């Protein structure tokens, strides 16, 4: 014969676990703010750039740029002089259809003889909302 109190505890524990999972699932489905969306997209873009994955970075650019430039043309505009060693999106501020992402870069200079190592640089990325998605603005 089973203990009724033990069965109730298992049922209560199961209900508590199910409620907890349902609540965490709702949190994951909650819409992200534009700042959170752009923070994630900008981090993805710069992760690709650090890895020299220009094809991946290219996919995050505004569709209007991708209509007139190939991924190879995008890669070629950066040259061979310096490379990005690290990138961190430090702040994102948004308006209705435009966000600015502040990015801290660690850049390896193309002149190792100067002994500069990695130099810290800062830039502002512009992200635009088009067709319900955020895209990095890239000048031509």
Question: Across 5-97, where does the E strand assignment appear?
Answer: 83-94
Handedness of CA 109, 110, 116, 118 (dihedral sign): positive
Kindly list the domain boundaries of the chain, sorted by start residue. Answer: 1-29, 31-136
Model confidence at 50: pLDDT above 50: yes
Q: Which residues contact 47 (CB under 8 A, 6 or more apart)?
A: 87
Which pTM value belongs to this model? Answer: 0.75
> CATH assignment of 31-136?
3.10.450.50
Question: Exposed, middle or buried, 58 (CB in 10 Å: 0-12/13-18/19+)?
Answer: buried
Residue range 6-32, pLDDT digits in tens: 555 554 444 444 444 444 444 557 679
Residue range 64-111, pLDDT digits in tens: 999 999 999 999 988 766 689 999 999 999 999 999 999 999 998 766
CA–CA distance, 124 with 91 (Å, rounded to integer)? 10
- Beta carbons within 10 angstroms of residue 127's beta carbon: 25
CA torsion, ordered 110, 112, 114, 115, to nearest 10 deg: 130
């Amino acid at each position: 014969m089973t203990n009724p109190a033990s069965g109730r505890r298992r049922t209560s524990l199961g209900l508590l676990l199910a409620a907890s999972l349902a609540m965490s699932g709702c949190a994951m489905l909650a819409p992200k703010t534009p700042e959170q969306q752009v923070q994630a997209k900008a981090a993805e873009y710069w992760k690709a750039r650090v890895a020299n994955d220009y094809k991946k970075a290219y996919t995050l650019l505004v569709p209007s740029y991708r209509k007139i430039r190939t991924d190879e043309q995008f890669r070629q505009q950066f040259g061979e002089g310096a490379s990005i060693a690290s990138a961190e999106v430090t702040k994102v501020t948004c308006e209705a259809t435009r966000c600015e992402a502040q990015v801290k870069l660690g850049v390896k200079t193309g002149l190792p003889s100067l002994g500069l190592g990695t130099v810290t640089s800062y830039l502002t990325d512009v992200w635009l909302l088009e067709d319900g998605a955020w895209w990095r603005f890239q000048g031509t």
